[in-house]
Amino acid sequence: MPGRGRDWERGLRPVSSRRSPTISFSCPPRFSFAIADPSNVVSMVILIGVAVVSSQLGAQVRSKARLAQANADRNGALAGFARVLMGVNRREELWDVLSQEIARLFDVRTIVVAPDPPGEGGRHLVVKAAIPARGDLDLIDGVAARWAFDTARPTGPGSDSMAVSEWHFHPVRGGNVAHAVLGVAREDAGTPLGPTQLPLLASLLDQAGLALARITVEEEMLALGKIQERDRLRAALLSSIGHDLRTPLTTVLGMLRAIRPETPVQQSQLDMARGEAERLDRFVANLIDMVRIETGGLDRALEPVDLSEAVTAALDDLRRVLGGHRIAVEVSRDLPLVLADPVLLHHCLINLIDNAAKHGGSRGKVVVRARAAGEGLALSVLDEGPGIRPGEEQRVFGMFTRLEGSDRRGGTGLGLAIVKGFAQAMGMEVAAANRLEGQGAVFTLLIPPGNLRQVDSAA
């Protein structure tokens, strides 16, 4: 063996007199490494150092290249998804696009659930889109989806809640509120997404949230345009009807007032015709007044008005309407004068008293009461009708509003809306409530202290 080693060493010794490192991997002894000349140790260390540094730099370059490629793929996916979303104008189409794109990019099953109708957070979540198509979620998955919707946080595998669910749910947020939930799952029931895929999914869902916000604004603008167009048409119709009816109606009223009946039967018929004509005249006046309120053409001339005289004048104009109703007036004559427009205040009282007579029963009692309310006054009209359902106290003053089972179940729905418009034009407010004693409703005209003028007793 020693001789063999010497032969092997002699065979590998170079011809040159300078010795070099001896390396052997293919002949015996295999996988050996030796430096025959100690002067080459430094060279070998330098070469090894260069190799190590080169490999580290190469690894960094490859890592940066892979990162750059991943970023390029991510940005390309986001740009492509955003381009697709630009052509989406409906919620249903958005859910279909979102489900299809997520399924394609991540090679997973997808499902989108959202409340129906939109914006109803308390309603049951229904499936809006799914790849492949499917029906409702089972109980556990449905609870996980509901949790993600209510908390606006991810649920399912890989999250901190509802990990038993097969689906991994992510909310589609608009601000801090979830508008829908996207679920992803795999056929083998494994973890749907890896940690490196979650940022891309979050970015895609943010893009979907922005698209949803845009669609919501477009829907609101479309609805607003329809409302404005409807209001313009309604104002034009009311104006046309009101002015076209006013002239012939004035003629009819003048003729009815000029007729002198010859028999009691004629007198009764004439009174009935006058009553209906006057009711039609009030209806036309309400139409015209409503147009004036909506168009801002309401003129007012404030002056001190005696409430007692104003109530008496309103009751006198409504004597035929009141018929067999019992009337009680509780307005003291020592109350301060009210700074108001006499015509507008007269219309307010007529509409309030007419509303009480119409909905307080054929023999019901109508009470007109004026009392101090703090530093101001409260002018109230009380009836004995069915009252107002709880929660409808403000809606009762809406235009063309008729509430079944309340004091607004019939009529045109204009009288109280006009009262509110006229009251606000005079610096007052109007409120509706049920009576504290007995059955019925009470409508109150609230007169602030600034609209009161004390009567000079010396004068």
Give the integer Cα–Cα distance in Å for 97 and 220: 22
Is the pLDDT at 439 greater than 80? The verdict is yes
For the record, the structure tokens of 254 come out as: 């003048």
346, 430: one domain: yes
Last residue of a domain, one of 193, 208, 239: 193
pLDDT number for residue 443: 92
CATH number for the domain including 337?
3.30.565.10
For the record, the structure tokens of 57 come out as: 């730099």
Interval 396-419 mean pLDDT = 62
pLDDT number for residue 3: 47
32, 103: one domain: no
In a domain, 358, yes or no: yes
250, 149: one domain: no
First vs last Cα of the chain: how many Å apart?
147
Is the pLDDT at 455 greater than 80? The verdict is no
In a domain, 66, yes or no: no
In a domain, 41, yes or no: no
pLDDT number for residue 407: 44
Q: How many domains does the chain have?
A: 4
Is the pLDDT at 17 greater than 60? The verdict is no
Q: pLDDT above 70 covers what percent of the chain?
A: 82
Interval 273-288 mean pLDDT = 78
Last residue of a domain, one of 136, 170, 193: 193
pLDDT number for residue 5: 46
Is the pLDDT at 144 greater than 50? The verdict is yes
For the record, the structure tokens of 143 come out as: 């609870």
Is the pLDDT at 408 greater than 50? The verdict is no
pLDDT number for residue 213: 84
pLDDT classification of 425: cutoffs 50, 70, 90: confident
392, 322: one domain: yes
- Virtual torsion, Cα 389, 390, 392, 396, nearest 10 deg: 50
98, 185: one domain: yes
Interval 323-344 mean pLDDT = 86
pLDDT number for residue 379: 92
Output the average pLDDT for the chain.
79
166, 248: one domain: no
Per-residue burial over 251-267, b = 16 or more CB atoms within 10 Å of its CB, e = otherwise: eebeebeeeeeeeeeee
CATH number for the domain including 109?
3.30.450.40
In a domain, 354, yes or no: yes
In the chain, the amino acid numbered 408 is R
What angle is formed at CA 452 by the lines to CA 450 and CA 455, rounded to 5 degrees? 145
Neighbour order of strands in the sheet with 376-382: 326-330, 365-373, 376-382, 441-447, 429-434
307, 429: one domain: yes
236, 373: one domain: no
In a domain, 50, yes or no: no
319: Cα separation from own chain's centroid: 47
339, 267: one domain: no
Supply the range of the domain harboring residue 381: 300-453
Question: What SS3 class is residue 129?
Answer: strand
281, 391: one domain: no
> What's the pLDDT tens digit per position in 19-60?
545 555 566 666 666 777 777 778 888 888 888 999 988 888
Is the pLDDT at 80 greater than 80? The verdict is no
In a domain, 122, yes or no: yes
327, 183: one domain: no
In a domain, 47, yes or no: no
Give the integer Cα–Cα distance in Å for 249 and 284: 9
Give the integer Cα–Cα distance in Å for 51 and 63: 18
Last residue of a domain, one of 256, 271, 292: 292
In a domain, 70, yes or no: no
93, 147: one domain: yes
pLDDT classification of 309: cutoffs 50, 70, 90: very high
Per-residue burial over 45-63, b = 16 or more CB atoms within 10 Å of its CB, e = otherwise: eeeeeeeeeeeeeeeeeee
